[in-house]
Chains A and B, each alone.
Chain A
Amino acid sequence: KNEVEQSPQNLTAQEGEFITINCSYSVGISALHWLQQHPGGGIVSLFMLSSGKKKHGRLIATINIQEKHSSLHITASHPRDSAVYICAVPSSNTGNQFYFGTGTSLTVIP
């Protein structure tokens, strides 16, 4: 069993749609990271959160520590949002080792 599970693996949406990507984890954590990876490999850190909700522009991230679950939402999706979104959890039990979800590949069609 993977320490971090993401769903869905692939997602295709029409421009303007509301998108949700889910992440469940099994290790003990104090913070969870959402990353965005564009074609070509560059990775950008979108959010780091340990409770509640964070919002940045059209992106919203939520986390429920008790249920070990986080969601990334994109409102009014746009083709430039097309990327792979990765959930990452640093495990405080294993000396700062990060566990990564396999990523959700999002394609937004104009």
Chain B
Amino acid sequence: EAGVTQSPTHLIKTRGQQATLRCSPISGHTSVYWYQQALGLGLQFLLWYDEGEERNRGNFPPRFSGRQFPNYSSELNVNALELEDSALYLCASSLWGTYNQPQHFGDGTRLSIL
């Protein structure tokens, strides 16, 4: 069974640009979560998608957005990139969006803003 896959592995952008990160969940999983892990900081919850809809978002500005496609894959878009957006972005999936389902994580996309 293929795990959660994320692309690209690394992404280098400059301030003001836009970045798109992609995530494919485990087959059969309908929920996708996005997290940010800045250097030296803990994981921060970004977004939760389930059955194609945004169900919840963390304390991040609107320039962080995303969507979930009919095949349950997801993309995270970050507009007007700022230096502090440099971080590891992790995607996780679960069978469905309840808090008592284990989450399976991808290896992450490391976004660097120059």
Contact = CB atoms under 8 A, between A and B. Distances in A.
Contacts of B88: 41
Contact of B99 (A29, A44, A100): A29
A48 B102 contact: yes
Interface residues of B, number: 27
Interface in B85-109: 88, 90, 92, 97-105, 107-108
A71 interface: no
A95 to B, nearest CB: 4
Contact of B55 (A35, A45, A96, A100): A96
Interface in A56-110: 86, 88, 90-92, 94-103
Interface residues of A, number: 28
A83 to B, nearest CB: 13
B48 interface: yes
Contacts of B41: 102
Nearest to B50: A96
Interface of A: 29-31, 33, 35, 40-45, 48, 50, 86, 88, 90-92, 94-103
20 contacts: A29-B99, A31-B99, A41-B37, A41-B88, A41-B108, A42-B107, A42-B108, A43-B92, A43-B108, A44-B105, A45-B104, A86-B42, A90-B100, A95-B48, A96-B98, A97-B48, A98-B33, A98-B35, A100-B44, A103-B42
